Amino acid sequence: MDKAGGIGQAFDGHLVGHVVVVGFHAQLGSQIEFSYPSLRGSPELRTPGLSDSQDVAGDPVGRRATYASQPRGDWGQLPEEWSFLPHLALPDGAHESEDDTVYFCLPRNIHCVACFRQTNAREAMTIDAGGGSEEDERIASRGSVQKSVVLMCKRPIYGILGERLGGVVRAYFDQGDFARTDVLAELFHSVNKSLSKPYWNNFSVLVHGLDLRTLVVTLKGDLLRVLKLILLEKRVVLVSQPVRAACNAVACLASVFPAAFDRMSPNEEALDSNIEDQAIGLPLEILSERDNIIFQPYAHLPLINNLLLESSKGCVLGTSRNCGVFLKTGMSSNAHANLPTCDAIVDVQTGQTTIPEEVGRLCALTREESLFMEDLAYAAGGAGQGNESPGTIEYVSSDDNLRERLRDYLRRLLRSTACINGVLQNSGPTGTDSGSTTTTATKLTPGSNVDWSPVEAYNTRFVKMWALTTMNGCQWASKCEPVLKKAQPPPSPAVLRSSRQFKNNFGLTSVWSWWTEEPRNTASGTSQSAVERMSAASARAVEGVSDLIHKLESELKSIETVIREKVEEGKKTISAQGATDLENKLEARVNSDSGDITNMKTPQARVLRPNRETTESLSPVPLYRGGD
C-alpha cells in the first residue's frame, strides 16, 4: 500500500472505510465507542470484502469500550494523526440542537461525514454503543444521550453520504438500544455497494446535496470577495450555528474551482477535468494537503489554533458562531499576540462579513464584477417572472448553472492575466508534490511598469498580488500554455452578462422587465448614472432579443417541416387525376355563377396545388442571431 498517497490502490474501489460511533461522556468528553471495521492504528483505510463478516477482527460487539485506554479500545486503535476525530464528530454547540451534520477532513486525504443526534437518557435501554449499562448514568450528560455516527471515506462526497447517514442515524436512535449496532454494519455494506464504481465516478455525485444557490443569495458580492481571498491564500473562516451551513459553504466554495475535489483524492480517477481547462493552467494548486491553502469544512477551536498559530499557510475553514466571536477579538488592532488571527470572518446565515480594511482593498470588486454578482444573485433568487417555462427558471437558479458561471469568471480572469506581458515568464516560487521548493528569478513585481489594462475589470491590485506573490499564482504561470499570452483578452464578466443565464426560452415579458427594472445598488453603495443604466439595459435587451430571434427561427423550421409533411400526405391520398377532375368541377361551377373568371387562372389561384419543386425549395428566412 502506498503510504505517501494515503489510501493507495488497496481500497479496491470501495468508498467507505469505517463507520465510527462517537459518544459524549459526561466526565471524559468525546469518546469513540464503536467502529466497523475496527480501526487498526494506521492512517490508511482498510479494504474489507463486502461479504466479509470478520471485519471487526473477532472482537465481540457487545463488549464495553475501555475509556481509560483511549485512544485504544475494543473498537481498535485510533492513529495519532486522527486524534481530533472524536472532537470534530461532536461539533461545538451540538447540545443546543437536536441534530446536526458536519463534514471534516483527516490527514492522508480522508473525508468524513458525521451526523449528530441527542435523545433523553431515560428512553435508552443501553447508552454505550460498546454494550453494558452499569455506568450509563456516568456516561449520560445533562440527562441526555449525545452521539455522532461518522462515515470515513476516500472522496469528498459530502452531500449524498450526509443524506444516507441521516436516515440511518434516526433509525439507530429510534431503536432505544445503542449496543445494537447491526444497522451501522448494514449501512457500511450498503453504501459501498450502491456507490461502487462506476456509479459514483461522476462529478455530479461529488456536488450533489451542496447548496450553492443559498450561499449566492445570502452573500451576493461577498461570495466573489471570498473567492478572491482564497486565491490570495488568505485565512478565511466561515461560521454558522448549527455548523452544517458553514460546512456546506466551505464545500461549495471548493466546488467552484475546477478539479479541486480531484486534487483532494490524488490517487483516484479525475472526475472534473478537461483539455480546455488544462490549456489555461487549471486546476489551480489550492485546497489539497500539499498546497499552500488548507481546506477544512469544520474545525473546532484547538484545531483552529493549530492552523492559525502554528502554520503559515492560508486556509478556508468552517466553524461555529461561538468560535467566530472569539476569532474576531484577534482581528482588532490591540489584540494579544498569542491570539489566532484570520483575514476574514463570514457568517453564512446572516451574510455579515468582517474583513480588515487593508485586506478589503485587495479583494474589492470592480463595477463589472459587482454587476456580474448582481446578475448571479438575481438568477439564484429565481430570475424572470414572465412567460418563462418552469424548467428554464429551474435551470437558471440551479447549482450547476451558478457554479459554471463562477467558473467561467475564473477562466476569463486567467486568460486575461495571461495576456499581461511577462506574467507567464514570472515563475516565482514553484512547489512540487514531494514538498521541495525552487526559486527562480522574478521578471515582474507588483510595481513593474507594464500594461495591466487587460485585468482592470478584475481589480488590478488583486491580480498583481495573486499572479506575482502567491504560490498558486506562480505555479499557474509556470504551467500555463505560452500561446495564451498572444491571445486577445476575453470580455469581462459584466460585458458578457448572463450569456448562459438567458439561453432558455425567455419571453418578451422578461426582456421588458430587465429593460425597465430599477437599478440595483452595487457593492460600493453608489447609484448608477443614466448612461450606465442605459448601457446595462441595452446589453440585457440585446441578449433577450437574440434569444427570442433564436426561438422564432426554431419555430419557423418546425412550421416548414409540418408543411412538407402535409403536402406529402396530400399527394399520396389524392391522385393527380382526381385533383384535375376536382379542379374542373370547381371551375365549371364558378363559370356558371359569375361568368368569365379567366383572370383567376394565375399562379396565385393554384396555391392549393404545390408541386415538388416549390415545396422542396422552401427554406426559412435567415435571421440574425446575437452571440457572445
**Residue whose entry in the numeric block shows the C-alpha cell 450547476:** 400
Output helix, strand, coil percentages for the chain, rounded to the nearest 5. Answer: 45, 15, 40
Residue-wise pLDDT for 310-322, tens only, equals 788 899 999 999 9
Three-class SS state of 476: helix
Question: Mean per-residue pLDDT for 68-94?
Answer: 76
- 517-to-16, 198, 238, 512, 537 alpha-carbon distances in Å: 51, 48, 33, 8, 9
pLDDT of residue 176: 82
pLDDT of residue 396: 86
Is residue 185's pLDDT more than 60? yes
Is residue 299's pLDDT more than 90? yes
Residue 621 DSSP label: P
Q: Is 220 exposed, middle or buried (0-12, 13-18, 19+ CB in 10 A)?
A: buried
How many residues in total does the chain contain? 628
Choice between 497 and 86, residue whose per-residue pLDDT is larger = 86
Chain centre to alpha carbon of residue 99: 24
Q: Looking at 200-242, list the stretches that DSSP marks H as alpha helix, in order from N- to C-terminal side.
A: 203-207, 212-219, 221-231
Q: Which residues pair with 31 in a beta bridge?
A: 23
Is residue 253's pLDDT more than 90? yes
pLDDT of residue 336: 61
Sign of CA dihedral 152, 156, 157, 163: positive
Choice between 121 and 241, residue whose per-residue pLDDT is larger = 241
Backbone angles phi, psi at 318, to 5 degrees: -110, 145
Residue by residue, DSSP assigns 340-407 as: ---SEEEETTT--EE--HHHHHHTPPPHHHHHHHHHHHHHHTT---SS--HHHHHHHTSHHHHHHHHH
303: amino acid identity, one letter = L
Highest mean pLDDT among 404-418, 487-501, 582-596: 404-418
Structural domain spans, the chain: 16-201, 210-364+398-497
Question: Mean per-residue pLDDT for 339-366?
Answer: 93
Distance CA(18)–CA(15), nearest Å, equals 10
**Count of helices and strands (H, E) across the chain:** 23, 15
Going by C-alpha positions, the residue among 193, 149, 197, 154 that lies closest to residue 34 is 149
Distance CA(57)–CA(38), nearest Å, equals 7
Percent pLDDT > 70 in the chain is: 64
pLDDT of residue 510: 35
Give the count of beta carbons closer than 10 Å to the beta carbon of residue 8.
Answer: 16
Q: Looking at 257-351, list the stretches that DSSP marks H as alpha helix, in order from N- to C-terminal side.
A: 260-263, 275-279, 301-309, 321-329
- 343-to-169, 206, 357, 420 alpha-carbon distances in Å: 37, 29, 10, 28
Of 94-108, 368-382, 447-461, 549-563, the one with minimum mean pLDDT is 549-563
Residue-wise pLDDT for 123-168, tens only, equals 767 777 766 544 555 555 567 788 999 999 989 999 999 999 999 9
CB 373 within 8 A of CB 365: yes
Question: Mean per-residue pLDDT for 96-122?
Answer: 89
Give the count of beta carbons closer than 10 Å to the beta carbon of residue 386.
Answer: 14
Residue 159 DSSP label: H
Q: Is 385 exposed, middle or buried (0-12, 13-18, 19+ CB in 10 A)?
A: exposed
Is residue 122's pLDDT more than 90? no
Beta pairing class for 344-347 and 314-320: unpaired
Beta pairing class for 344-347 and 235-240: parallel
CB 543 within 8 A of CB 375: no
CB 257 within 8 A of CB 286: yes
- Which of 31-42 are b and which e, b meaning 16 or more Cβ less than 10 Å from the residue's Cβ? bbbbbbbbbbee
pLDDT of residue 226: 97
CB 347 within 8 A of CB 239: yes
Sign of CA dihedral 141, 143, 148, 149: positive
Is residue 587's pLDDT more than 80? no
Is residue 432's pLDDT more than 60? no
Is residue 67's pLDDT more than 70? no
> How high is the mean pLDDT of the chain?
75
Beta pairing class for 144-153 and 110-120: antiparallel
pLDDT of residue 131: 61
pLDDT of residue 382: 74
75 Cβ contact list (under 8 Å, min separation 6): 20, 32, 33, 34, 35, 38, 39, 59, 65, 130
Question: Mean per-residue pLDDT for 221-234?
Answer: 96
Packing angle of the helix pair 399-418, 212-219 (nearest 10 deg): 70
Packing angle of the helix pair 212-219, 221-231 (nearest 10 deg): 110
